[in-house]
């Protein structure tokens, strides 16, 4: 499905695919077993430009449009969702927050390192007691002279133990979502600690962490945006993050389709290839339709973003559909592969384990449905 990609967009997609076929796909099973990608892949990904997509050239990025960004995220999702997560969180959730809401000094301080991959960012919103209900988070930031002192705990933070800087959301007043502020916290600040969470079902190649803030002191210049605007920053950035997750899910569906076609046309049973059985063709046909439908929803979001139009509800629809489609496709890919689908020497098992979190993080499927329902009806189910 090619719609209307221009030459630059096609060239980036081809470059990304060729790079990932060579540098990531042959290693992804081992990285998954090791519970860590080889960190040498990060400067290599940076050279291709993954970390600089959509960051303006004046801050060391590649510039470029959002459609190119989602093409990159799709290729990363097809290759290894752990890699997609590392880029999406550093360039996306962290970088796009700074780009959208930072002062000139903050942009100059953080964006060049994010864009060239020499620095990684993470996004500290979720807490042990507030996942979907992010507006009620309890971490605190107290003003103390010219500083803020942060206390609290964050959970399930991608890049947490690898990051150089964390965007931390903490409460500066008790006024629900309106009392939340955002802070750029260097991870070597005193009182900042990150501990890796092991034993995940999927996304095993990326570092997922708990963050602990114990009297963690940052200067007032670490405040991103105004006091009390942190929740809006989180929500605005998450709208884009959801497009990125959805694009990664398109890559999972595409990968499931490709591996299923390859397997079904090469394995023979009852004297003919699996692809000759109509029930196998049905599984493959469902994946093919899901890939096209999810991709179109994602590209619509990219187009809206590139034209400066509202895209929040479109992002919820893309994220909802693409993440559910990724689980469906991976499950079907296992069915096509039979016993081979149940071991990690073949791609479907990892696709399924990675896909499973996509319906949970950056807003569960249920949250997306309530957001879409709120947009359609004007009735807010969250109050």
Chain residues that interact with ligand COS, rule: CB under 6 A: 125-126, 132-135, 177-178, 231-232, 235-236, 238-239, 312, 361-363, 367, 371, 382
CB closer to ligand COS out of 62 and 239: 239
CB neighbour class for 139 (10 Å; exposed up to 12, middle 13-18, buried from 19): buried
Output the residue with the shortest Cβ distance to ligand COS: 135
Measured distance CA(335)–CA(261) in Å, rounded: 12
CB of 233 to ligand COS, least distance (A): 9
Measured distance CA(220)–CA(223) in Å, rounded: 6
CB closer to ligand COS out of 19 and 321: 321
CB of 360 to ligand COS, least distance (A): 8
CB of 159 to ligand COS, least distance (A): 12
Number of residues assigned to the chain:
383
Taking CA atoms, 18 is separated from 27, 136, 172, 277, in Å, by: 14, 44, 47, 32
Measured distance CA(168)–CA(275) in Å, rounded: 50
Report which secondary-structure segment, H or E, holds 193: strand 192-196
DSSP symbols for 222-250: GEESSTT-HHHHHHHHHHHHHHHHHHHHH
CB closer to ligand COS out of 336 and 370: 370
Token pair belonging to 270: 């009852």
3-state helix, strand and coil shares in percent for the chain, rounded to the nearest 5: 55, 15, 25
Between strands 147-158 and 140-144, the pairing is antiparallel
CB closer to ligand COS out of 134 and 209: 134
CB closer to ligand COS out of 94 and 299: 94
DSSP symbols for 10-67: HHHHHHHHHHHHHHTTTTHHHHHHHTS--TTHHHHHHHHTGGGBTS-GGGTS-B--HH
CB closer to ligand COS out of 287 and 357: 357
CB closer to ligand COS out of 160 and 205: 160
CB of 323 to ligand COS, least distance (A): 12
CB of 370 to ligand COS, least distance (A): 7
- Catalytic machinery residues: 362
200 Cβ neighbours under 8 A, 6+ residues apart:
35, 208, 357
CB of 359 to ligand COS, least distance (A): 12
Report which secondary-structure segment, H or E, holds 365: helix 365-377
CB neighbour class for 177 (10 Å; exposed up to 12, middle 13-18, buried from 19): middle
CB of 49 to ligand COS, least distance (A): 25
Token pair belonging to 321: 């559909």
CB closer to ligand COS out of 6 and 380: 380
Residue 283 φ/ψ, nearest 5 degrees: -60, -40
Measured distance CA(182)–CA(230) in Å, rounded: 5
CB of 311 to ligand COS, least distance (A): 10
């Amino acid at each position: 499905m090619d719609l209307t990609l221009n030459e630059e967009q096609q060239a980036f997609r081809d470059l990304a695919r060729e790079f990932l076929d060579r540098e990531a796909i042959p290693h992804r099973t081992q990285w998954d077993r090791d519970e860590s990608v080889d960190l040498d892949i990060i400067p290599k990904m940076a050279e291709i430009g993954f970390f600089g997509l959509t960051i303006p050239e004046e801050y060391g990025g590649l510039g470029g449009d959002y459609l190119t960004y989602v093409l990159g995220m799709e290729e990363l999702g097809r290759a290894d969702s752990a890699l997609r997560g590392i880029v999406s969180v550093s360039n996306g959730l962290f970088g796009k927050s700074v780009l959208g809401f930072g002062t000139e000094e903050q942009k100059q301080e953080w964006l060049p390192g994010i864009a060239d991959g020499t620095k990684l960012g993470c996004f500290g919103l979720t807490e042990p007691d507030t996942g979907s209900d992010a507006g009620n988070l309890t971490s605190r930031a107290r003003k103390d002279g010219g500083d803020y002192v942060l206390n609290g705990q964050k959970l399930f933070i991608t890049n947490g133990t690898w990051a150089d800087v964390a965007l931390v959301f903490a409460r500066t007043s008790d006024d629900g979502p309106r009392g939340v502020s955002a802070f750029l916290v260097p991870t070597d600040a005193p009182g900042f600690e990150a501990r890796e969470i092991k034993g995940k079902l999927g996304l095993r190649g990326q570092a997922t962490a708990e963050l602990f803030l114990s009297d963690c002191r940052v200067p007032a210049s670490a405040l991103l945006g105004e006091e009390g605007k942190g929740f809006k920053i989180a929500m605005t950035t998450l709208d884009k993050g959801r497009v990125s997750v959805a694009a990664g899910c398109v890559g999972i569906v595409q990968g499931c389709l490709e591996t299923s076609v390859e397997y079904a046309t090469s394995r023979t049973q009852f004297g003919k290839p699996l692809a000759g059985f109509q029930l196998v063709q049905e599984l493959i046909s469902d994946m093919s339709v899901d890939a096209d439908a999810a991709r179109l929803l994602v590209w619509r979001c990219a187009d809206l973003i590139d034209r400066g139009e509202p895209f929040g509800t479109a992002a919820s629809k893309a994220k909802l559909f693409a993440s559910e489609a990724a689980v469906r496709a991976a499950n079907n890919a296992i069915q096509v592969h039979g016993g081979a689908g149940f071991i990690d020497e073949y791609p479907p098992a990892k696709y399924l384990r990675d896909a499973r979190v996509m319906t949970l993080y950056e807003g569960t499927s249920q949250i997306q449905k309530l957001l879409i329902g709120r947009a359609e009806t004007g009735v807010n189910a969250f109050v």
